[in-house]
Amino acid sequence: MNLYDAHNHLQDAWLAPHYPRVFADLAAVGVRRAVANGSSEADWPDVTTLAHAHPVVLPSYGVHPWDAGNRSPSWQKNLLAALDANPHAGVGEIGLDRWMTDRAKPDDPRLAGLRVAPIEEQTEVFLWQFALAAERNLPSSIHCVDATGLLHDLLRDARRPARGFLLHSYNGPEEMVAALAKLGAYFSFNANFLDARRARLRGVYAAIPADRLLVETDAPSVRPPSSLEKFPLPPTADGVHVNHPANLAATYAALADLRGVTTEALATQVEKNFLRLFGH
């Protein structure tokens, strides 16, 4: 059984001290590809280094909405250079985030040192990157928090990549799934949706069309429920939880259970979907 992690951040410094163990565990559970998403100009070189060292890693380069406010004046030129140098690369992580602008506490440690870009500025940065994915027909990985309606309207009116695009950790309303799928969306399931407080999302992922379903870890971010955490890692020096990407295997099993299919049947479907969207 081949497994595919549609969205993560393997280049992250939180995982770097554990690489030998992490990559051995990924191979042991059958992970064939893992898409490592750069989120700012600062981490793109690390994505490239990792992709060169480990064929399991598919690189992706983008400016995340959290990092949009700190992009350099030459960010577009730098993104084009990263994509030109890595022909298998995708565009991501890109997107829109209204939690950051409307709900986050100003002292939230996750936003420390970042200039919060207003939604208009995030939209501009997102649309430029999405247009690039459309023009080159590249896979793209989209983050969206508290902005599903806006994202839908932007996608509807934009030129879109012929191959489709990924709404990673889609957590919007179930009623919008059909309209987004019609525009070309794929949806990746994260184990964090199995948290008891997020029961609504289990309904959403039971209803996603089988040919648009993917699975992800977002590692090292996001905490799976402890029952699914088969590969624990020590926390960071600041005491932050670190999600091991091999927890993907338990995520597949949980999603298969939720959809009432065998893990093998789910893995076969997800493999087809992954190869259709990402091409490798």
Cis before residue 93, ω within 30 degrees of 0? yes
Binding mask 6-45 for Zn ion (x = CB under 5 A): ----------------------------------------
Tokens matching residue 25: 């565990």
C-alpha dist (Å) from residue 60 to 3, 23, 65: 18, 18, 15
User: What are the E-state strand segments in the chain?
Assistant: 3-8, 31-37, 57-61, 90-97, 140-145, 165-168, 185-190, 213-216
CB 9 → Zn ion: shortest distance, Å? 6
Report, in Å, the least distance between residue 157 CB and Zn ion: 25
Closer residue to Zn ion (CB): 65 or 161: 65
- Find the shortest distance in angstroms from Cβ 227 to Zn ion: 23
Segment contacting Zn ion (CB under 5 A): 20-28, 80-88, 217-225, 267-275?
217-225
What six digits make up the tokens of 140? 């793209």
Least Å from the CB of residue 147 to Zn ion: 16
Residue type, 26: L
Per-residue contact string for residues 91-130; x = within reach of Zn ion by CB under 5 A: --x-------------------------------------
**Which region, judged by CB under 5 A, interacts with Zn ion, from 94-102, 211-219, 259-267, 270-278?**
211-219
CA distances from 65 to 62, 273, 275, 278 (A): 9, 26, 27, 22
Q: Say whether 95 sits in a helix, a strand or coil.
A: strand
Please identify, among the stretches 172-180, 218-226, 255-263, 268-276, the one whose residues bind Zn ion according to the rule CB under 5 A: 218-226
> Closest approach of Cβ 218 to Zn ion, in Å?
5
Phi, psi of 113 (to 5 degrees): 80, 0
CB of 265 to Zn ion, least distance (A): 27
**Amino acid letter, residue 8:** N
Distance CA 221, CA 56 (A): 19
* Residue nearer to Zn ion on the CB measure, 39 or 123: 39
Binding segment for Zn ion (CB under 5 A), chosen from 107-115, 116-124, 216-224, 233-241, is 216-224
Q: Which is nearer to Zn ion, 168 or 259 (CB)?
A: 168
Contact by Cβ (8 Å): 223, 14:
no
Q: How many residues touch Zn ion (CB under 5 A)?
A: 2
Residue in 20, 6, 31 with CA at minimum distance from that of residue 246? 31
**Min dist. Cβ of residue 39 to Zn ion (A):** 7
Report 77-96 residues binding Zn ion (CB under 5 A).
93
**What is the binding site for Zn ion (CB under 5 A)?**
93, 218
